[in-house]
Structure 1
Amino acid sequence: MKKHGVISFGEAFIDYISKDRSNTKFTQLLGGATVNVIAGTRRLGIPSYYLCRLGVDESSLFVEKELAREKVKTEYCVRTPSKKICRVYVYLNEQGERTFHSYINPTPDEWLLESELQRDLFENAKIFYFGSGTLFHETARGTTDRALKYAKESGLLRAFDTNIRLKRWESDEQCRETILSILQEVDLVKMAEEELLFVTETSSLEAGLEKLSGLKIPFLLVTRGSKGTYAIRSGSGIFVPAVKVNAIDTTGAGDAFMAAILFGFHEKGIPENLSQLEKYTQFANEIAALSTTEIGALTALTNLQEKVQIFKWF
């Protein structure tokens, strides 16, 4: 049987974006990096599954409705009456810039359990993706480890985005040590340059890459925003320039990049050489750039079929 589809494991958020500087009226949007990525892979045409714990209240129903609208499958999620969705409030300051105001998690200990993972999903899918948002909590870490075990046993590509949010960790050291341990268990890693420097405790891209080289990560992608991406396959690397656009909002650009990379690995397979990885990265840079041309993480990523067809010609 041919394996098909991407699994994303994480936690759904609802972003409340202020409509004006009074910060009293908000637009409600589905959020969270792992949600953005799986919505992106689905928009690119791949069967996509989201794994998390949901509640049964109005907020959870909103999350399910939005995921259904994106055609992301949620039948492997678990629903409990006590679970509440995390909320993120984004305000407008006096200069009209969006700023993070508050993060509210009413049920911080409610996570998908190891025992609630279903093996058949891993047996049928092709890629398992997750971020560091499932690593700072003991229960979530245990479920992540079990999911990685199932993914390895079922032959899935294991993809990880460091996506560090230090406010969620007890200490910088706990975050650093946890991520370093995970980097030894995955096949594909995406991290921003500043995350590389944090994890390796270095001050330059070159020094950071040298320090990580001992882990022998099969595929490593270090994003540098408008400066492009450094792509590494089996220790050999190449710099891939960014695509120039009139950027309006960079929110979710990294998630769009990751979705496009997963699409490349899913549709074209494991890159057999650095040149092939370069093409995957060029495509991901293009999708990431496109995502910045409108306000919102996925707003600009609507009609992608033309870009998908061009990529498939490579």
Structure 2
Amino acid sequence: MRSLADLNKQGVVSFGEVIVDYISNNKDNTSFKQFIGGATVNVAVRLARKGISSTYLTKLGDDEDGVFVKEELVNEAVNMNECSMTTTKKVCKVYVHQNENGDRIFHSYQNPTPNEWLLDSEINSHIFIDTKVTYFGSGTLFHEKSRRTTETILELAENFHQIIAFDTNIRLKRWESAELCKKTIAAFISRAHIVKMAEDELLFLTNTNSVKEGLAVAVKWAIPYLFVTRGKEGAIALHNQQYISTEGLNVTVVDSTGAGDAFMAAVIETFHDKGLPQSKTDLEELLTYANGVGAKAVTKMGAL
């Protein structure tokens, strides 16, 4: 399941859903600024900006919003040739509010066309032949159609011996129940070589109350490379039952949206360009780099 053969490939395939973020401009949450986003979009764009061949798999509507999103991603040098266009799909919207401390919080998710997803029959297997990494998140797992498509994509990635990267990126408001969320994500964790989750997601998935307890449970998952982001506290990497941590950086936080995606993009970039970390030093350098990229992302508005 997690075997790797030929790593002398190039490029990353990301599968997900384009989301338009409406991020609050004030603590009253009465004024919002529009940004193209979604975890997988953020990662795909960041990789393209690093000069890595970045292909995005999704379904978009052919209305004004859908065309705009596609053009924006093409302008970012993301390969959208495998994007499926339909007359009925509408772009999803996420509203991000500020709390009393000025921190960003996920408030609501609106999907006008909840049953419109990229189908496994719409995937061209040839794009996986020479690609090095496949990346996905839990945003394609809470709906039966997209979950089946995710299964097909992972089968192709495994057949062509790719590195598989998974960001748990949990949004419980999308799920039927917390228990279904946990069960589903646990099944897909076992398919990945790289898994990234936030500290609160670690505690949620492990049913624990501290990072130490959570990591003790996570060891049993036998994930080759697990990364846990902790915001201003830094980040932790778990590999071969060894923990490596890096402290947070002192930066002025403008908007925390997309910080985890920036971290994940930096991790994938390093695995893509340098291969699997071969030593503790390699992993320490990777963790420090990814944590720095994540910290830098919070100093400006918007996930990108």
Fold match (TM-score > 0.5): yes
**Number of the residue aligned with 1:159:** 165
In structure 1, the gaps of 5 or more residues are 299-314
**Number of the residue aligned with 2:3:** none
- Match of residue 242, structure 2, among 227, 232, 236: 236
Aligned equivalents of 1:194 and 1:94: distance in 2? 20
Q: Contact 2:166 / 2:192 at 8 angstroms: preserved in 1?
A: yes
Query: For this pair of structures, how many residues does the alignment match?
Result: 298
| Backbone CA RMSD of aligned residues | 2.1
Task: After superposition, give the CA deviation of every residue in 1:157-213 in whole Å (9 maximum; x if it has no partner).
Answer: 000000000000011100001111111111000011110110011112122122122
| 1:209 aligned onto 2:223 | no
Q: CA distance change for structure 1 residues 156 and 61 in 2, over 3 Å: closer, same or farther? A: same
**Number of the residue aligned with 1:14:** 20
**SS of aligned partner of 1:124:** coil
Letter in 1 for 2:9: K
**Number of the residue aligned with 2:302:** 296
- Match of residue 228, structure 2, among 198, 204, 222: 222
**SS of aligned partner of 2:129:** helix
Between the two proteins, what is the percent identity of the paired residues? 50
| 1:265 aligned onto 2:271 | yes
**Number of the residue aligned with 2:83:** 77
Please give the residue correspondences for 1:56-71 in structure 2 after superposition, counting only pairs within 5 Å.
56-71=62-77
Q: CA distance change for structure 1 residues 196 and 18 in 2, over 3 Å: closer, same or farther? A: closer
Aligned equivalents of 1:42 and 1:139: distance in 2? 28
Please give the residue correspondences for 1:9-48 in structure 2 after superposition, counting only pairs within 5 Å.
9-17=15-23, 26-48=32-54
TM-score by length of 1: 0.89
**SS of aligned partner of 1:27:** strand
Aligned equivalents of 1:253 and 1:148: distance in 2? 25
Aligned equivalents of 1:198 and 1:101: distance in 2? 19
1:94 deviation in Å? 8.8
More relative contact order, 1 or 2 (CA 8 Å, 6+ apart): 2
TM-score by length of 2: 0.92
In structure 2, the gaps of 5 or more residues are 1-5
1:235 deviation in Å? 1.6
Q: Contact 1:233 / 1:274 at 8 angstroms: preserved in 2?
A: no
Aligned equivalents of 2:26 and 2:250: distance in 1? 29
